Structure 1
Amino acid sequence: MVNKPDIRTAVPKHRYQLGEFQVVVLGEVESGDAQDYRYIMAVVREGDPEPGVYLTCERLPAEQRSGGAYGMRLVMRDGAELLGQEDGWRDLHRFTEDGLAVLRKLLNLGDETPYRLM
């Protein structure tokens, strides 16, 4: 996967079931790449051995902070895209809520409710 986060260590903060997907929100992320991750949302389809989609909350470099200090990046098998910037995403609850909304649209799960498992 292109631009996949190189997660060395992380602490699971929340787990959700969203249709046929399990979503794990990781915090206290230490990575081996250049990004400064605050949180990572890893999305695994039932039966798959590893995530196929990531949503990340990254502290942006100073020169990129015109819209906020934190960026939400969508990482999929074919590439990555910065979806937006928001200071509020430094808060776990806010990032999780907004990230789940993005995933519901992306995965065409508008009628599914995310169920918190942890």
Structure 2
Amino acid sequence: MQGRPLIQTAIPKRRYRIGGYVATLLGEIESKDGRRYRYLLAFVPEGASEPVLYVCSESSPSAERATGAYRLSLISESLNEFLDCNDRWGEIEPFAEQGLRLGCQVLGLPEGAISRLL
């Protein structure tokens, strides 16, 4: 997957089951790709070892900070798309809520099937 986060270390903050997927929300992320991630939500099909979709919150470039401190983006095999720039993507609750909603939309999963595991 081109553009995928190159994670060196990260701390799992939450875990969810959605249909046949497990979504893990990661924080305290160190990456090898030079990006400063605040949070990542990685969607992994059950039984697989690699995510098929990432929802990312990363620090905005200084030129964009007037519109928000964090950028929200989607990365998958067929997507690498910037969606929004807002301060709220640096907070765990709004990021988790939006990340789960986006993941369900992209993967065709019912939002009502989300259950928090951790």
Fold in common (TM above 0.5): yes
Would you say how many aligned residue pairs link Structure 1 and Structure 2? 118
Structure 1's unaligned 5+ residue stretches are: none
Could you state the TM-score of these two structures normalised by the residue count of structure 1? 0.93
Identical counterparts, % of pairs: 38
Residue 9 of structure 2 corresponds to: 9
CA contact (8 A) 2:101 2:111 kept: no
- CA shift digits 1:39-71 (9 cap, x unpaired): 011100112221111111000111123431111
Equivalent residue number for residue 24 of structure 2: 24
In the TM superposition, what are the counterparts of 1:104-115 in structure 2 within 5 Å? 104-110=104-110, 112-115=112-115
What is the identity, as a one-letter code, of the residue corresponding to 2:67?
Answer: G
Give the 3 Å change call, closer, same or farther, for CA 20–32 of structure 1 in structure 2. same
Using the alignment, how far apart are the partners of 1:9 and 1:80 within structure 2? 22
- Distance in 1 separating the partners of 2:2 and 2:111: 30
Runs of 4+ in 1 over 3 A off after TM superposition: none
**Partner in structure 2 of residue 70 of structure 1:** 70
Unaligned stretches of 5+ residues in structure 2: none
Aligned AA (1:30): E
| Residues 22-31 or 86-95, more deviating | 86-95
1:73–1:84: 8 Å Cα contact kept in structure 2?
yes
Provide the residue aligned with 1:80 in structure 2.
80
Cα separation, partners in 2 of 1:70 and 1:19, compared to 1, 3 Å: same
* AA partner of residue 61 (structure 2): P
What is the alpha-carbon root mean square deviation over aligned residues? 1.3
